[in-house]
Structure 1
Amino acid sequence: MSIDNIVNSVNTTDSSLSVAGLTAFYGASQVLFGIDLEVGRGQCMALLGRNGAGKSTTMKAIAGIMPSIAKKISLEGNDIDGLPPYRIARAGLAFVPEDRQVFPEHSVEDNLTLAAKAGSALRHEGREDWTLDRIYHAFPLLLPLRTRLAGQLSGGEQQMLVIGRALMGNPTLLLLDEPSEGLAPVIVQQIAVQIGALRKAGTTILLAEQNMHFCLHVASHVAVIDKGRIVYCDSAQALRNNDEIKRRYLSV
């Protein structure tokens, strides 16, 4: 499906995130060239691409962590373009970076509770707030570790912790940057199960990955990025059947 068609199809439904003309530089080097992206409410969209294609840069620009220029970045209809990261977070966006960034000298439970924020928007939609009990139910491996220092956790345990910590802020949109990177296959499977459960619960997710098989297992929609440009958008099922796009932009 063409990019224009997929954008128009998302615009006919409720849009959680809308990005138009997103451009970013590292010094004098331009790395994003007019990114257009729409994530519908309740969707799980995967931003797929090879290493260096611009996935993490796109996520950081949306979250306000790196400077960027855009025609529009809106979250739930509210303009967040140019806002500092803490205001974007307060607006309802939660960002889980690829390097996780736990608070290593604090316990698992401390890491979770420090991020707690009421989710009035979720209650308005008839959805429950995320609480400690819900986090431990969603990520049962964290419960027996609740008093352990976060710096003593394995990579997979830390990944579950930072996703749980992000959810404690009751976001309207969850950004996950390379959630499967560096993890053992069995842990990747567990992360996939949890993302699938979040999707079924109505959580809107944008995840950046180069693990195509992982993404096609959990995502409802995909956008492929190559050299800082979106080159393909469609449903996950459509990408499964499109060998040409997979070969051209996603094969190693």
Structure 2
Amino acid sequence: MAEAATLEDRPAAARAALLEVENLDVYYGASQILFGLGLAVGEGDTVALLGRNGAGKSTTFKAIAGIAPPRRGSVRLRGREMAGAAPHRIARAGIGYVPEDRQVFPEHSVEDNLLIGEKKGPTGKREWTLERVYDVFPILAGMKGRMAGRLSGGEQQMLTIARTLMGNPDLVLLDEPSEGLAPIIVAEIGKLIGTLREMGVTILMAEQNMHFCLAVATHAAVIDKGVVVYRDTIAGLRANREITDRYLSI
């Protein structure tokens, strides 16, 4: 008889879900982008939403965050329905969103950017403070007085992640964290995500870079043409050449 799977070996959908997305339809005007999309994120997981450019990854994140409200379907955070709620209410409920274009406040200092994002979590928790951010992101501590517009792309990516954590979210949506960055910076971002995973931060990450995700995620969902076509652990995805060749090869 096969041994029972460990908690991390089970598909995210089989675990107690922090986030549950079901039957999500999203349109831009008359064009439908997501078709009955479903996925789940267990508490403490780092789930990679993988797919080629244009597959619907960023639209999925915008739908979860309330920026692209779904026409049909459900988005539940700890069982509480979020679909159709205003973006600021979704943020206050515990979903932090790191957009793919970073969106720092360029004429404000690094520390001011962090303070702009500061708030208590949905249950009043304040685990992420300036002190903790500077401990986890020491590069930001050394440039806290620098204008954010003068940072490199990789430094801005770290700043936007840190600013989101200052809001003490239950779940972080991390959209294309490796996009447009040099390989050495991608490696640093990967180390940072690994550190956050070890700290118990729950992350849903959209990515095209499968190899990056294989190194940092615990679970994977593959999206193609607005539909999630595969969900499993990272080990399961790594072993499934049919899926990687069909949906993730360039």
TM-score, scaled relative to structure 1:
0.92
SS of the residue 2:27 aligns to? strand
Q: What residue in structure 2 maps to residue 54 of structure 1?
A: 56
**Matched residues in 1 for 2:116 and 2:69: separation?**
27
Q: What residue in structure 2 maps to residue 4 of structure 1?
A: none
Which residues of structure 2 form unaligned runs of 5+?
A: 1-9
**Matched residues in 1 for 2:248 and 2:30: separation?**
27
How is 1:9-158 mapped onto 2 (pairs within 5 angstroms)? 10=12, 13-119=15-121, 121=123, 123=125, 129-158=127-156
Q: What residue in structure 2 maps to residue 189 of structure 1?
A: 187
User: Are residues 70 and 42 of structure 1, via their aligned partners in 2, closer, same or farther at CA, if it must alter by over 3 Å?
Assistant: farther
In the alignment of these two chains, the number of paired residues is 241
Which residues of structure 1 form unaligned runs of 5+?
A: 1-7
- Specify which of 179, 204, 213 is matched with residue 211 of structure 2: 213
Identity of aligned residues (%): 60
User: Are residues 223 and 94 of structure 1, via their aligned partners in 2, closer, same or farther at CA, if it must alter by over 3 Å?
Assistant: same
For residue 228 of structure 1, report the CA deviation from its aligned partner.
0.5
**Matched residues in 1 for 2:162 and 2:45: separation?**
19
Q: What residue in structure 2 maps to residue 3 of structure 1?
A: none
Structure 1 counterpart of 2:143, one-letter code:
L
- RMSD, aligned α-carbons: 1.5
**Matched residues in 2 for 1:209 and 1:122: separation?**
31
- Residue 224 of structure 2 is aligned to residue 226 of structure 1: yes
Structure 2 counterpart of 1:209, one-letter code:
E
**Matched residues in 1 for 2:122 and 2:66: separation?**
23
SS of the residue 2:142 aligns to? helix
For residue 121 of structure 1, report the CA deviation from its aligned partner.
3.7
User: Are residues 247 and 10 of structure 1, via their aligned partners in 2, closer, same or farther at CA, if it must alter by over 3 Å?
Assistant: closer
- Specify which of 177, 180, 193 is matched with residue 179 of structure 1: 177
TM-score, scaled relative to structure 2:
0.93
For residue 12 of structure 1, report the CA deviation from its aligned partner.
5.0
Residues 15, 76 of structure 1: 8 Å contact kept: yes
